Amino acid sequence: MTASLLLALLVNGERRELAVPAHRTLLEVLREDLDLTGTKHGCELGECGACTVLLDGEPHLACLTLAADAEGREVRTVEGLADGSSLHPLQSAFMELGAAQCGYCTPGMLLSGAALLERNPSPTLEETKEALSGNLCRCTGYVKILDAVALAAERMREGEQ
């Protein structure tokens, strides 16, 4: 059997300790060991972006990240996007504009979008497209997703003022 590794992860602000095989991916740990099933999988090979999570605020594909490599970094998943019961502006915008159809790509889209708005509060359409280009969606044609990012960015800027 594979040797287990003792890990201490900081996920959505909570410290979680667990023993996992060394080769276990962050995706597997999140979904199966920590029951954070909001993070999705669509290919397990880094092709679709459904498993996007934030590590220290930067988007990473959880399916290609070893859980061990997330140690010492702040992991953020879709479950940690809202502030208590108050939704992130991106989540509200996705709801209002119908940017989630089947919803399977939505967690990854939200995290890629949140990282974008964190580093660039006023992205151009081209910059938003670039930031979301690694997240595939088969339902929406991306139209309402791009609209929702723009709406959230606008509201976040207004909120700052």
Partner 1 sequence: MSHAVVGKPLPKVDAFDKVTGRARYTDDLKLPRMLAGKILRSPRPHARIVRIDPAPALALPGVRAVLTGRDLPIRYGILPVSQDEHALALEKVCYAGEPVAAVAADDVETAERALGLIEVEYEDLPPVMSPAEALAEGAPQIHEDGKPGNVHRVAALEFGDVEAGFAAADHVREDLFYFGGNTHAAMEEHAVLASWDEARLTVWSSTQVPHYLQRALSRVLELPPSRIRVVVPTLGGGFGAKSDPFPHELVAGKLAIVTGRPVKITLSREEVFYCHRGRHPVQMRVRTGFTRDGLITAMDFDSVLDGGAFGSFGAASTLYTGALQTTTYRVPAYRFKGLRVFTNKPPCGPKRGHGTPQPRFALECHLDKVAEELGLDPVELRRRNLVEPFSKTVNHLRITSCGLAECVERVVEASGFERKHGRLPRGRGVGFAVSAYISGAGLPIYANEMPQSEVQVKVDRGGGVTVYSMATDIGQGSSSVLRTFTAEILGLEPEDVAVVTADTDLTPIDLGSYSSRVTFMAGNAAVAAAERMRDLVLGAVAEERGLQRDRLVLRGGRVFEEGEPEGGLSWQEAVEVASAARGPLVAAGGYKPPELAGPFKGSGVGPSPAYSFTAAVVELSCDPETGEIEPEEVWIAHDIGRSVNPLLVEGQIEGSVYMALGEALMEEHAFRDGVHRGPSLVDYKTLTTLEMPPVHSIIVETIDPEGPFGAKEVGQGALLPVIPAVANALADAVGVRIDEVPITPDKVMKALRELERGGPGRVGPKEIPQFEFREPVRVEPPEGPGPWTGPVRA
Q: Give me the DSSP letters along 50-106.
A: TTEEEETTEEEEGGGSBGGGGTTSEEE-GGGSSBTTBPPHHHHHHHHHT--SS-SSH
Number of residues that bind partner 1 (CB under 8 A): 55
Q: Which residues contact 30 (CB under 8 A, 6 or more apart)?
A: 11, 36, 39, 53, 62, 75, 77
37 in contact with partner 1 (CB under 8 A): yes
14 in contact with partner 1 (CB under 8 A): no
Q: Which of 35, 83, 158, 160 binds partner 1 (CB under 8 A)?
A: 35
Q: Which of 129, 150, 155, 156 binds partner 1 (CB under 8 A)?
A: 129
Least spacing, CB of residue 71 vs partner 1, in Å:
22
101 in contact with partner 1 (CB under 8 A): yes
Of 3-11, 54-62, 64-72, 133-141, which part binds partner 1 (CB under 8 A)? Answer: 133-141
